[in-house]
Amino acid sequence: VSGGARRLVVDLASTSRNWSLPAWGAERIRAAAPPGWEVHVATSSTSSDGDGSGGTAPEVLEAAGDAEVYFGFGLSEALFAAAPRLRWVHSASAGVGSLLFPAMRASDVLLTNSAGVMADPIAEHILGGVIFLLRAMDVAVEQQRRREWNKAPFVAEGATVREVGECRILVVGAGGIGTAVARRFSAMGARCTGVRRRPELGAPDGFERVVAPDGLEEALREADVLVLCAPLTEGTRGLLDGRRLDCLPTGAIVVNVARGSLLDEEALVERVRSGRLRGAVLDVFRQEPLPAESPLWGLPQVLLTPHVAAVSPRRFWERELELFLGNWSRYQSGAPLANLVDKDAGY
């Protein structure tokens, strides 16, 4: 770094255009640099999939040598090892599971994430998927393909058409996404219960009540729609296994936009196939890309998307830069950072 300047490395040239920092964004970061700071905006491409940090380009490893702040998708162990002067990492992803490797956890390097930044598009995605199933549009799509005019699945005894307003919604993870979902569903008349790790912090807007993780099974018994939007941590891995899915009422809908490993996919498939569950809306999978042989592909009652629920090309970078630039200025003044990750809690 020239003349002992402090360095920010920006590693956001995602291979996906939607997630790649636009030129105006790089300009905004440069323009916000306080005196004495140098900004290195990497041009080598990087991966924004999942928690990010599939690997780190040589250009970035070199620039990281005297970086004080790193702004990327996740953080690789190689980069962490190559950046001895690092003090603060900000990830443009919300999930941080893959960033909490032992050296990072043991260090006092600050870590902030983008929790909440993707909440609005994800909430709309969830609403769309749930209404798709409540209105039996999966049945309509199948019939349309066959050019079949048939009211029976919608009007016969045992038909599953329902309104949002008559549903009880259970949202596991009452954070950024969970609150955005609960606000929307409650505005449509549904009753929302949240599960959060720290229920003592209260029920956010949109929730009638929140319960602790140990109240999950009881809450499942009253959930017409279950939405999983909690981080993947040791407390949530494998959370929705077959036994817990069996706590849900017959005909319930399951949504997962969190991480695939929260949910037992085989157990879900069995219960959707048998009609025990109405269907599912899935954006995340235990293995991504979802293998071609997964039975999930073949179930019309499962609406699946390739981890794109958060996509919002017009608004993501506005929100993300507001968060990062606000934090950069707090970092300068020594004020507490927003979205600081609790490395022990894992989110």
Ligand X SMILES: NC(=O)c1ccc[n+]([C@@H]2O[C@H](COP(=O)([O-])OP(=O)(O)OC[C@H]3O[C@@H](n4cnc5c(N)ncnc54)[C@H](OP(=O)(O)O)[C@@H]3O)[C@@H](O)[C@H]2O)c1
Residues that bind ligand X (CB under 6 A): 94-95, 115-116, 118-119, 122, 172-178, 195-198, 201, 213, 229-233, 235-236, 257-259, 283-284, 307, 309-310, 347
Q: Residue 120 and residue 278: Cα distance in Å, rounded?
A: 25
Listed residue (20, 92, 80) closest to 55, CA to CA: 80
Listed residue (336, 310, 322) closest to 93, CA to CA: 310
If you count them, how many residues does the chain have?
A: 347
**C-alpha distances in Å from residue 2, one per residue of 6, 7, 66, 71, 231:** 9, 10, 10, 20, 40
Q: Residue 245 and residue 242: Cα distance in Å, rounded?
A: 5
Instruction: State yes or no: is 259 an active-site residue.
Output: yes
What is the widest separation between alpha-carbon atoms in the chain? 78
Residue placing its CB nearer to ligand X in the complex, 178 or 279: 178
Could you say which of 40, 162, 184, 307 is catalytic?
A: 307
Residue placing its CB nearer to ligand X in the complex, 85 or 105: 105
The minimum distance between CB 229 and ligand X, in angstroms, equals 5
Residue placing its CB nearer to ligand X in the complex, 62 or 288: 288
Instruction: State yes or no: is 288 an active-site residue.
Output: yes
Q: Residue 167 and residue 95: Cα distance in Å, rounded?
A: 29
Listed residue (309, 137, 291) closest to 227, CA to CA: 309
Residue placing its CB nearer to ligand X in the complex, 34 or 202: 202
Could you say which of 217, 288, 318, 322 is catalytic?
A: 288
- In the bound state, the residue with its beta carbon closest to ligand X is 175
Count of Cβ atoms closer than 10 Å to residue 140 Cβ: 14
The minimum distance between CB 342 and ligand X, in angstroms, equals 8
Listed residue (101, 316, 73, 115) closest to 229, CA to CA: 115
Query: What Rg do the C-alpha atoms of the chain give, in angstroms?
Result: 22
Residue placing its CB nearer to ligand X in the complex, 95 or 129: 95
The minimum distance between CB 238 and ligand X, in angstroms, equals 12
The minimum distance between CB 16 and ligand X, in angstroms, equals 12
β-strand partners of 38: 7
The minimum distance between CB 314 and ligand X, in angstroms, equals 17
**C-alpha distances in Å from residue 141, one per residue of 10, 78, 149, 159, 336:** 44, 47, 11, 16, 50
**What 3-state DSSP class applies to 147?**
coil
The minimum distance between CB 102 and ligand X, in angstroms, equals 20
Hey, which residues are catalytic here? 259, 288, 307
